[in-house]
Structure 1
Amino acid sequence: MRLTQEQLEQFDRDGYLFFPGQFSPEETRTLTDEVPRLYSRREAYNIREKGSDAVRTNFAAHMVSEPFARLARHPRMVQPVMDLFGEQVYMHQFKINGKAAFEGDVWQWHQDYGTWLNDDMMPTERAMNVAIFLDDVNEHNGPLMFIPGSHKKGVVEARHDLTTTSYPLWTVDNDLIGKLVERAGGKNGGIVSPKGPAGSMILFHSCLVHASGSNLSPWHRVSVYLSLCAVSNHIRRFKRPEFIAHRDFRPIEMLPDDCLRKPYPVELPWKDGLPASALQTSSVPFDEMKQAA
């Protein structure tokens, strides 16, 4: 899948692209059928909601699950990012975010690059998310909210929120959110929420300010996020466990476009459990570790 010149210009202007129904029901079902098994595992990579057994985020499914390992190499997800960067990419992060019916909690306003910079020492914002809906997304089940064009501000000031929800995040101040929304059009398009059927895909800039509300509806809202980073822009610190911020900087080798319909062989290095190395962290920058070695 290659981006057109019009799509490249739209991405530059708005900071995101939305592709309704990009994956067929058959392809999407291959993924959704795997989620209950992944969520049921009592592993560190399943982060659960406060006071609930509902999974908020499952990390690194591509290391333990064949369908998700193939998705991680899918040309419909990887090629557009390579088109935007003009460079090969590696998998910085792979997560399945669950907004369980009645229990899915909020994600506060933030920029993903804010976390990648502050926690992982990623040099620049040459990384972005590409996401696929595993459920239909509507206005009631906690859709993503974007502030169009907010990526043009670059990295904005953020604070490290360790208490509000079940997952630490570098969040953006409400006053700045108000200014960014007004700048983007206020009540006339200052906030947008892409909605569509399961199998829809979103590509968005790592500096695009976004959030999502809680899910009070009776419908789940599960999405998969591939955070792809230009190989030259790999992280410089391993402060977070490897199952959250990956350390394999080799370029992704894409599979054929029918890889969710055919069982192409893939490696599953963590299928039998997390190795001890996936839990180890270090505050020493990567370059210093290499010099010491």
Structure 2
Amino acid sequence: MSGHPHDNYPTRLERPADPIARIEPTVWGEGNDGPLSEHDLKTMAANGYLTRPQTLGQNWLRPMGDELARIGGLIDDEDPRIVRERQGGIRSVFEPHLFSDVIAEVIGLDTVLPVARQLLGSDVYLHQARVNLMPGFTGTGFYWHSDFETWHAEDGMPTMRAVSCSIALSENYPYNGSLMVMPGSHRTFFPCVGATPTRNHTSSLVRQEVGVPDQATLTAAANRHGVDQITGPPGGGLWFDCNIMHGSGSNITPFPRSNIFLVFNSVENKLCQPFAAAEPRPEYLAARTTEPFSVQSATA
């Protein structure tokens, strides 16, 4: 992990600052670099997100459900990779590919890994992986935020050359906490106010209060970009840029919502010292091992 390059996206400031226009492209690869069409790439560049139905085929859904149940039986309350809701239920399981060979295999699928490489225009490594669980009645949402703001401030990610893939493992309805995004907001970085508390991740993974824009900024962004809600059946994939503004509401319905969340970072975008935190977050939240991910590493 190296020292600091120049900071193009200062955040966690003492006072409000103007939004910053994005410097980097959203799409780094071309149409002949992978499975995405030119239309797909243009959609991703314009909106900051792209839906890919049947990222997981129907034959994967039952094994994945069995794996989630199996992992639930292995839960150790002392394991920091297990994040619980304030009411006690499981919210997220980090590094699930280390718990499960099946999940590790998903990362190397032709519908996943080559897409990440194409969007980022390089070999990639897994910056972060988790299973998100939003149980019925008690699942709480994720407040509006840009992932890059946190990864930049607390992990030391220097540039916007990372992409997330969320794969639905249950039906995403408009009313059970499905993800919302502001299309086009990925082209603007919104600096946030407030210093990063020590070991902020121990509370922010349950409820993020630092590194989120104020309500006036969010209102202006929503008025400019609008809000799209991502719904659909199990197996569907959502690719979204590291800097897009997104969030989800709580789930007060009886219908649980779960997904696999994979973050791919370019091997050319290695982490340095955090830009706005005293120390980096743990490896299970922000990998500093940047060996290019491959099908072999997924199944080893």
- TM-score, length-scaled by structure 2: 0.79
Distance in 2 of aligned mates of 1:197 and 1:21: 9
Tell me the CA shift for residue 128 of structure 1. Answer: 1.2
1:166 matched to 2:206:
yes
Match of 2:115 in 1: 80
Distance in 2 of aligned mates of 1:135 and 1:173: 32
The one of 212, 215, 219 aligned to 2:255: 219
**Alignment RMSD:** 2.0
Question: What 5-or-longer segments of structure 2 have no aligned partner?
Answer: 1-33, 274-278
1:177 matched to 2:218:
yes
Question: Which amino acid in structure 2 is aligned with residue 166 of structure 1?
Answer: V
Tell me the CA shift for residue 170 of structure 1. Answer: 2.3
Match of 2:46 in 1: 13
- TM-score, length-scaled by structure 1: 0.81
SS in 1 for 2:211: strand
CA contact (8 A) 1:21 1:201 kept: yes
1:122 matched to 2:157:
yes
Distance in 1 of aligned mates of 2:184 and 2:215: 17
Match of 1:38 in 2: 71
Distance in 2 of aligned mates of 1:130 and 1:244: 16
1:132 matched to 2:167:
yes
The one of 271, 279, 295 aligned to 1:235: 271
Tell me the CA shift for residue 32 of structure 1. Answer: 1.9
CA contact (8 A) 2:93 2:130 kept: yes
1:254 matched to 2:254:
no
Match of 1:27 in 2: 60
CA offsets per residue over residues 64-120 of structure 1, 9 Å max, x none? 211011112222112112112210100000011111111111100000111100111
Point out the more displaced range, 191-200 or 171-180: 171-180
Tell me the CA shift for residue 172 of structure 1. Answer: 1.9
Distance in 2 of aligned mates of 1:72 and 1:165: 23
Distance in 1 of aligned mates of 2:61 and 2:54: 10
- Identity, in percent, stands at 28
Distance in 2 of aligned mates of 1:224 and 1:173: 29
CA contact (8 A) 1:145 1:212 kept: yes
SS in 2 for 1:33: helix
Question: Which amino acid in structure 2 is aligned with residue 102 of structure 1?
Answer: F
